[in-house]
Amino acid sequence: MKVSKEFKKTINRNPFNEKLIHRYYLESLYFFENTIDKSSLIPRLENQKIKFNNLALVVPEDARKTGYRPDFTLYFKNYQKEVPVEVKWKSSEFNKKNQIDYIKNNNGFLVVFENDLDVGVPTVEINPKDFQEWMAKRIYTLTRDSLNSKNIGDTNGSKWLVALRGPNPMINFKRMMDATNQNFWAFKNSKYVTNQIFNLQKNDNMIFLFFKSPKTAMSMTSGQEYKKIEILGWAEVTIIEPYYICLEGEQAEFFEKIRKSNNQIISVADRKWVHFVDFRINEFKEDISLLRNRGQLDSYIVSSSNQGGALTSIPQNIYEDLISYVKTH
In 3-state terms, what secondary structure has residue 174? helix
The torsion defined by the Cα of 275, 280, 283 and 288, in degrees rounded to 10, comes to: 30
At residue 38, the pLDDT reads 83
The answer to whether 161 and 309 are in contact (CB under 8 A) is: no
C-alpha 211/C-alpha 164 separation (Å) is 6
* Domains of the chain: residue spans and CATH: 18-134 (no CATH), 156-328 (3.10.590)
Q: Write phi, then psi, for 6 (nearest 5 degrees).
A: -65, -20
C-alpha 235/C-alpha 208 separation (Å) is 5
Beta bridge partners of 239: 279
The torsion defined by the Cα of 251, 175, 255 and 323, in degrees rounded to 10, comes to: -100
Tens-level pLDDT at each residue, the chain (329 residues): 666 666 555 555 555 778 899 999 999 999 877 777 888 899 988 788 889 999 999 999 876 776 789 999 999 998 989 999 999 999 999 999 999 999 999 999 999 999 999 999 999 999 999 999 999 988 888 888 878 777 776 656 899 999 999 999 999 999 999 987 889 999 999 999 999 999 999 999 999 999 998 766 678 888 888 889 999 999 999 999 999 999 888 898 999 988 877 777 788 889 999 999 999 999 999 999 999 999 999 999 999 999 999 999 999 999 999 999 999 98
Q: At what angle do helices 18-30 and 128-149 cross, to 10 degrees?
A: 110
Half-sphere exposure of 97 (CA within 13 A, CB side): 0
At residue 208, the pLDDT reads 98
The answer to whether 75 and 269 are in contact (CB under 8 A) is: yes
